[in-house]
Amino acid sequence: MILTTTESIKGKKITRTLGLAKGNTIRARHIGRDIMALLRNLVGGEITEYTKLLAESREQSLDRMTADAQRLGANAVVEVRFATSVLMGGAAELLAYGTAVVVEDE
């Protein structure tokens, strides 16, 4: 599966557009991570606990978007984007979405 943020793929021709492919995850903060983040905030530096949480969320959203695209019959997703939203205090959604397409070599 080819994933790209651009509208085309060099060396490939889009032969069919299949529609929206999407994948999301909703994550809640963990009290242990919050305590570590608070301590890190006092001394400065990267809050690695949240960095790791966000990276895991991004990968899970991309995996789910890829599975959705495969279900549609795609072999690529173009114009991939991310969106976030806060659902409640301490919980947020990360959505990955793009256009599922079929591509062939030019």
Instruction: Give pLDDT tens digits for 24-52.
Output: 999 876 666 666 666 666 766 777 777 88
DSSP 62: H
C-beta of residue 65 within 8 angstroms of C-beta of residue 97: yes
Residue with tokens 């599975």: 67
What top-level class would CATH report for the domain 2-105? Answer: alpha beta
Question: What percent of the chain has pLDDT above 90?
Answer: 67
- Determine the Cα angle at 84 with ends 44 and 34, to 5°: 35
Question: What percent of the chain has pLDDT above 70?
Answer: 85
